[in-house]
Amino acid sequence: MTKRTVYNGGKVITENEQVILTQPRNSWDTNYHAYDKEAGIEYLIDINNIADTEEEWEDGGVMWEEFKLGELEALIQYAWKA
């Protein structure tokens, strides 16, 4: 299988057997995109829900290192729209 670098207009962060996780598509897009391969559903995760530091994480959201693992169940709980 060829590794994707772009999917549906966004740069691929990670891809596994369940999900394709991409960066925002352009400068005005404020969402990461998680694509459920099996169900064919796109989940939107606001960039403000992703924390780079412990202080940001304490305000809520998910740490970047955990986020980029691409575990579908974890991503769904931070999605604001499907």
Residues 33-78 have pLDDT tens digits of 999 999 999 999 999 888 888 877 877 778 888 888 888 888 888 8
Global pTM exceeds 0.75: yes
Start-end of H helices in 1-82: 54-58, 64-67, 72-78
Spatial separation of the C-alpha atoms in residues 2 and 6, rounded to whole Å: 12
Tokens standing for 49? Answer: 């829900």
Render pLDDT for 3-18 as a digit per residue (tens, 0 to 9).
789 999 999 999 999 9
**Residue 1 banded pLDDT, cuts 50, 70, 90:** low
